[in-house]
Chains A and B, each alone.
Chain A
Amino acid sequence: MRVLLVDDNAERQAMVRAALVEAGHEIVAFAAPRDDLRAVVETSGADVIVASLSTPDRDTIEGFRLEGQAPDRPVVMFVDQAGAPLAADAVRAGVAAYIVDGLQPARVAPILGVAVARFEEFRRLQNELALSRSALEDRKLIDRAKGLLMDGRGLSEKDAYGWLRQTAMAQSQRMVDVARGVIALGDLLKK
């Protein structure tokens, strides 16, 4: 089937596109603000529109109802009550689907399923990336604090590390928070 993808996150759009192509669908992608969404819907011949829940362009799609006359206007998939649990999953994952009039909602479910799975994978990857970034930041702070302790108190690297660890345990803080304290104090001492 022909799927029109509306997502203002280019990276995620690429992921979802790859997954849908693999499932044998043809993809038309929309890129705001370069494209006029109404014109793209008109000319693309899409059977179904898969949109990111958070994109402002969704309101434009909802607005097609106002123009009502033309037969090939998309309608919201959530109309179909049988699809309600899927709709709830989709909302939680951040993806919405619109089917074009005349298509059975059941035929859209597999497409939406693929999109939901990819959206969730995208979110997991973003979380992992954020975690590894903050781990790297923590590492740097701890190293700086260690350096200050080695210079200021003449400790060996091992003892400096041990001191940070012990203090963290004693105060039930994270090591990076103790390190932040040491750095703040170090800055204060310099002034």
Chain B
Amino acid sequence: MTKLSLGFVPLTDAAPLIVAKERGFFVQVGLDVELVREQAWSSLRDKLVHGVLDGAQALAPMPLAMSLGLDTPSAAMRAPLVLSRNGNGITLRADIDDALKRGAQRPPELQAPGGAPGPGLRPLVDARRASSERPLTFAVVFPWSCHRYQLHDWLRAAGLDPVRDVAIVVVPPPRVADALAAGQIDGFCAGEPWNRLAVTSGVGRLATTGLELWPDAMEKVLAFRACWADANDDVVQRLLQALLRAGTWLEPLDHRLEAASMLAAEPYLDQPPSLIAMSLLGLVQSDRNDPGRYLAAMHRFCSPAWAAPVADDVERLVRAMRDAGDVEATRAVDWQAVYGGPVLDAARAIEA
């Protein structure tokens, strides 16, 4: 048995790692994996760079930001596997949502398609500026996240400049609902179960989902230091096989219910199973009284069909990073070095 330690952050989309551990998929390929819970992305990144963790779940832009030296500490990274796609949402405080709908002056169901906030947001921003109140403030979970870039796109669709017109800050997801209630922030973009928690407590309303903004975007990846991955090729290959099996196992809905109780346990998410089950099944509610709708694609996991990062995934990400000014327009980005890799071999191996 090869011993490994992998970091994760307690989120619904850590499901493949937890399922692979609990269902014995790691053991099947001769890996004794310890899952280490991290409460902060910065902590996970530091431990990964300094070799305290062998690998980790990471926000999709993190390994690229680290490889390009945008983040510190930095290191060349490899992220060959997409652990999960979709799963994010933008939640607004109830009074902001009301104001937005008034500003739009038409029923919400007639608002712009594609998750755009409609014309209501602009007057809200201008009113704040005129009365020299603090600007509309949105929280994301980490600077190098799809959450931030999806929020940027959503704001741009309303004709706003995400840098000049609003403030964007980082608030850890477990604190986001409280910060919304206390008026420290007016909205946030986060993964599950945090939108659900803010919506069911009545503090927030779901404005849109990441699924509508960036359909089937890669959200979390499995990341390693490049030097470690290159020296442990065989271990990486076995790890990918185990996770592809976990991703396949997670497809049927009855397995998702079973997974919800695995994830709910104390060493993992430590949250009520019902809360996790609702988000794993893809129930989306815009407010507390909304009966909700099921979006089958709300969480996609690393089954062979979805597990490889494809050119579309990375191009969208690099475009967003350039739009945000994080990567200069002229700088060449060798994304193959980060996201390219051996998923297809692993997929063939588990089919054999």
Contact = CB atoms under 8 A, between A and B. Distances in A.
Contacts, number: 81
B169 interface: yes
A56 B40 contact: yes
A91 B46 contact: yes
Interface stretch (B77-85, B121-129, B170-178): B170-178
Contact of B50 (A32, A67, A91): A91
A36 B142 CA distance: 17
B42 A54 contact: no
A22 to B, nearest CB: 27
Interface in B167-202: 167-175, 178, 182, 184
A57 B43 CA distance: 10
Given A33-B175, A78-B72, A78-B73, A55 B170 contact: no
A59 B167 CA distance: 16
Given A54-B40, A55-B39, A76-B72, A60 B172 contact: yes
Given A65-B143, A66-B143, A67-B167, A56 B174 contact: yes
B160 to A, nearest CB: 16
Contacts of A33: 175, 178
B340 to A, nearest CB: 27
B52 A55 contact: no
A92 to B, nearest CB: 6
Contacts of A61: 42
A101 interface: no
Interface in B43-79: 43, 46-47, 50, 52, 72-73
B227 to A, nearest CB: 15
Nearest to A32: B175
Contacts of B47: 53, 91
B100 interface: no
Contacts of B42: 58-59, 61-62, 96
Which size bracket describes the interface of B in this complex?
20 to 34
Interface in B137-167: 140-143, 148, 167
Interface in A62-83: 62-67, 76, 78-79
A90 B201 CA distance: 39
Interface string B23-45: 00000000000000011111100
Given A33-B175, A62-B142, A62-B170, A56 B50 contact: no
B119 to A, nearest CB: 26
B142 A55 contact: no
Contacts of A38: 169, 184
B311 to A, nearest CB: 28
B50 A92 contact: yes
B43 A53 contact: yes
A185 B232 CA distance: 47
Contacts of A67: 167-169
A59 B172 contact: yes
A53 B46 contact: yes
Nearest to A63: B170
A149 interface: no
Interface string A98-128: 0000000000000000000000000000000
A60 B41 CA distance: 10
B142 A58 contact: no
A34 to B, nearest CB: 11
A87 interface: yes
Contacts of B40: 53-59
A57 B172 CA distance: 7
Contacts of B174: 56
Given A60-B170, A88-B50, A54 B39 contact: yes
Contact of B39 (A56, A64, A96): A56
Contact of A66 (B168, B173, B182): B168
A117 to B, nearest CB: 18
Nearest to B170: A63
A87 B40 CA distance: 17
Cβ-closest 10 pairs across A and B:
A63-B170, A56-B172, A78-B73, A58-B40, A58-B42, A56-B39, A91-B50, A53-B43, A59-B40, A88-B50
5 contacts: A32-B175, A38-B169, A62-B143, A63-B169, A96-B43
Given A32-B175, A36-B184, A87-B46, 18 more contacts: A33-B178, A38-B184, A53-B43, A53-B46, A54-B39, A54-B43, A56-B172, A56-B174, A58-B43, A61-B42, A62-B41, A63-B140, A66-B143, A66-B148, A88-B50, A91-B50, A92-B52, A96-B43
